[in-house]
């Protein structure tokens, strides 16, 4: 399928990395577009293609249009392309948002184009990092029936593994990814905050936490999620958890609620791991549900 020409609308980190990798895999990137010449100059260092700030000019040069702008600009970009007559039945239009459905591409669909979403499940900070990390990523793919084979093939040619997500399921799909990726950062921040109450600075706290985090990732990869669980709830140490809750109530009462919430969910993980029984779980929940 890489005989088709591609235009990339929105040449930021993700769009530039995707274009660069597709170039390497034999796809013809006809054009790249961005709002500023500075962004285009950066993207042009990675992608051999016509560069323009006129998104319609870029769109007219391609069979496949990848809209890789920020989420709140995808529908606007699609609408502009539609108004300017870019789309027809021969076109494929994909966005790369994890949260949005294909409905934001409705103006392309009404012109006969086949639409979809190709979302890499990864957090990318830099172009070079994205180029390195995109291969091996899972891609959440949603597309019209005629567009699905191409969407999945693009994900595969990027070195990824496509999973098909229904349009109506995309909010939960994205919520799960946010919980794992974004809230992990929040948990580390929470731990640093608790350590600050002991006069341990954030950088020292992070140095202490990183081996724990790396060990968890290794154990998840080796044994699966539930089996990777360690700590007092996994061991059935009710007294330890009660001590945590009592100490937080005395010293950091505003931080008790989050600890309890996470603990309650962890009880279910320990039950799934089968290192505690129902009776022990209820004893934990009595502590974690109480005042």
- The percent of residues above 90 in pLDDT, for the chain, comes to 96
Local confidence band at 114 (pLDDT 50, 70, 90 cut-offs): very high
Give tens-digit pLDDT for 190-216.
999 999 999 999 999 999 999 999 999
CATH number, span 5-165: 3.40.50.720
What average pLDDT does this structure show over 249-274? Answer: 97
Contact 111, 96 (CB under 8 A): no
d(CA 248, CA 235) in angstroms, rounded, equals 21
d(CA 7, CA 143) in angstroms, rounded, equals 18
Residue 77 tokens read as 């970009």
What was the pLDDT predicted at 183?
96
Sorted by where each begins, the domain ranges of the chain are 5-165, 173-289
Give the 3-state secondary structure of residue 193. helix
Local confidence band at 243 (pLDDT 50, 70, 90 cut-offs): very high
Contact 108, 93 (CB under 8 A): yes
Q: Identify the CA nearest to 276 among candidates 234, 223, 242.
A: 234
Burial annotation 60-82 (CB, 10 A radius, 16+ → b, else e): bbbbbbbbbbeeeebbebbebbb
Q: CA 22 → CA 19, 31, 69, 120, distances in Å?
A: 5, 13, 18, 14
| pLDDT surpassing 60 at residue 217 | yes
Local confidence band at 255 (pLDDT 50, 70, 90 cut-offs): very high
| pLDDT surpassing 60 at residue 176 | yes
What was the pLDDT predicted at 123?
83
Axis crossing angle, helix 13-24 with helix 37-44, rounded to the nearest 10: 30
What was the pLDDT predicted at 125?
84
Give tens-digit pLDDT for 218-234.
999 999 999 999 999 99
pTM (2 decimals)?
Answer: 0.88
Local confidence band at 1 (pLDDT 50, 70, 90 cut-offs): low
| pLDDT surpassing 90 at residue 272 | yes
What average pLDDT does this structure show over 45-64? Answer: 96
| pLDDT surpassing 70 at residue 257 | yes
Angle at the Cα of 68 (from 160 to 142), degrees rounded to 5?
55
Query: What are residue 12's phi and psi, to 5 degrees?
Result: -85, -150
Q: Are strands 28-33 and 138-143 parallel, antiparallel or unpaired?
A: unpaired
| pLDDT surpassing 70 at residue 2 | no
β strands within the chain, DSSP E:
5-9, 28-33, 50-52, 64-67, 92-95, 114-120, 138-143, 161-164
What average pLDDT does this structure show over 69-95? Answer: 97
Q: Identify the CA nearest to 87 among candidates 194, 7, 199, 197.
A: 7
Question: What average pLDDT is seen over the chain?
Answer: 96
Local confidence band at 248 (pLDDT 50, 70, 90 cut-offs): very high
| pLDDT surpassing 80 at residue 281 | yes
What average pLDDT does this structure show over 110-114? Answer: 97
What average pLDDT does this structure show over 110-131? Answer: 94
What was the pLDDT predicted at 17?
96
DSSP state for residue 212 in the 8-state scheme: H
Which of the two residues, 142 and 123, has the higher pLDDT score?
142
| pLDDT surpassing 90 at residue 124 | no
What was the pLDDT predicted at 3?
79
Contact 19, 11 (CB under 8 A): yes
Local confidence band at 290 (pLDDT 50, 70, 90 cut-offs): confident
Residue 195 tokens read as 């350590």
Give tens-digit pLDDT for 144-167.
999 999 999 999 999 999 999 999
């Amino acid at each position: 399928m890489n005989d088709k020409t591609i235009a990339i609308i929105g040449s930021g980190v993700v769009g530039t990395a995707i274009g660069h990798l597709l170039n390497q895999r034999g796809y013809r990137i006809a054009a790249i577009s961005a709002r500023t010449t500075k962004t285009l100059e950066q993207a042009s260092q990675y992608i051999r293609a016509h560069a323009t700030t006129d998104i319609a000019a870029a769109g007219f040069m391609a069979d496949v249009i990848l809209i890789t702008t920020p989420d709140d600009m995808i529908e606007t970009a699609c609408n502009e392309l539609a108004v300017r007559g870019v789309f027809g039945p021969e076109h494929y239009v994909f966005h790369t948002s994890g949260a949005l459905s294909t409905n934001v591409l409705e103006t392309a669909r009404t012109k006969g184009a086949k639409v979809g979403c190709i979302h890499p499940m990864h957090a990318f900070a830099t172009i070079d990092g994205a180029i390195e990390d995109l291969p091996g990523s899972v891609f959440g793919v949603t597309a019209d029936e005629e567009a699905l084979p191409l969407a999945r093939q693009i994900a595969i040619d990027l070195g990824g593994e496509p999973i098909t997500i229904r349009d109506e399921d995309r909010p939960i799909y994205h919520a799960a990814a946010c919980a794992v990726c974004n809230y992990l950062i929040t948990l580390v921040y929470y731990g640093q905050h608790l350590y600050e109450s002991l006069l341990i600075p954030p950088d020292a706290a992070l140095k202490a936490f990183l081996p724990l985090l790396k060990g968890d990732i290794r154990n998840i990869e080796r044994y699966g999620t539930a089996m990777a669980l360690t700590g007092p709830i996994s061991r059935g140490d009710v007294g330890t958890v009660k001590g945590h809750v009592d100490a937080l109530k005395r010293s950091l009462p505003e931080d008790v609620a989050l600890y309890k919430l996470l603990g309650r969910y962890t009880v279910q993980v320990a039950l799934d791991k089968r290192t505690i029984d129902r009776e022990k779980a209820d004893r934990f929940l009595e502590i974690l549900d109480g005042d």
